Structure 1
């Protein structure tokens, strides 16, 4: 099985420097939508694949753009691929940005009913997300998601998330020596086999 991590395209929080990180629920810019649409020339997005999005507007928009030509898609949204800092600082709560707050579970259910919500019963996970969890607290949750993915009857799983989240999962899946210089950037992607 292939897991393909896709970083969302440019969001409005990526252009309004220095106040960019104080934007709550930032959407993709026009450039970001174009960046994501260009991924259709890189990948064969199909109805046989599974799509798992972070609970943010920009990743949901990214998922909807890459699946827009498909009739029946298996689209999920999970707080386990939500924003996550990398590396985790000594006092992560001091570095939380408004742009990395999960879109509310109620709004996802009411506004994005084409997505299947994972971990719906874990209200604490939805409220706090994985952004500030210690590595020891994140590891069993992340491995739980990977183990669930392994049970799916598909050849490709696309995880649409954020630079820090993707880097944390790459480490969880066995890569060593990663740093912020390994971030994918706008609409970047990384493929691996499990």
Structure 2
């Protein structure tokens, strides 16, 4: 299966760190909106394509702008929510990386489906501080599920640490923060 991981467009939380990292549910900047629009040309979507989106405002905005007026499947899934990379056992989730409340997602992004069969804990805490071994088990199951869903291209709109964690899991190679994608960047991965 060919997966395309796409990092969300530039978010306002990246403009003035570390203070801006305290912004809860940050939106895209104007530059981020432009990056999302560029995805339309880079990856024209068809009805057979499948987009899996992290439950954060910036990823949802990226997917909404990119997939505007396309009838492909779009689902929000906390298994691609923000993930700290590298993982730190004492690490805490920053406000900018907290998952949006399901009710807020339904109100702001009603065109997307939610994968609600997943545990409440996953929808509340996501994968940000999940221990590596637990993430590996969850990640393998998620990737297997993606393979079952695939009729066309599978796109995952997510975050730098999450994408790098999945790349590491798939390739069985070690990555560093130097391997992070730029805002609006993408990478194809065979699984």
Q: TM-score range by the shorter chain?
A: over 0.9
| Structure 1 residue 41 displacement after superposition | 2.3
Q: 1:189 is matched with which residue? A: 186
Distance 2:49 2:128 in 1: 27
Which residue is equivalent to 1:7? Answer: 7
Counterpart for residue 32 of structure 1: 32
Cα separation, 2, equivalents of 1:2 and 1:59: 20
* Contact 1:2/1:155 (8 A) holds in 2: no
Name the counterpart of 2:102: 105
Q: Distance in 1 between matches of 2:107 and 2:34?
A: 27
Aligned to 2:79: 80
Once the two structures are superposed, residues 97-139 of structure 1 have per-residue CA deviations (whole angstroms, 9 ceiling, x without a partner) of 1000000112223332211111445111111110000001111
Structural mapping, 1:1-194, within 5 Å: 1-70=1-70, 72-93=71-92, 96-194=93-191
TM-score w.r.t. the length of structure 1 is 0.93
How far apart are residue 69 of structure 1 and its match?
3.7
Deviation (angstroms), 1:73: 2.3
Is there any run of 5+ residues in structure 1 with no aligned partner, and where? none
Distance 1:117 1:12 in 2: 25
Change (3 A) 1:39 1:153: closer
TM-score, reference length from structure 2? 0.94
Task: Pick closer, same or farther for the CA change 1:176–1:55 going to 2, 3 Å.
Answer: same
SS in structure 2 at match of 1:151:
helix
Instruction: Please tell me whether the aligned partners of residues 87 and 129 of structure 2 are also in contact (alpha carbons under 8 angstroms).
Output: yes
Change in Cα spacing, 1:132 to 1:153, as seen in structure 2 (3 Å) is closer
Secondary structure of 1:55 counterpart: coil
Count residues in correspondence: 191
Deviation at 1:140, TM superposition (A): 1.3
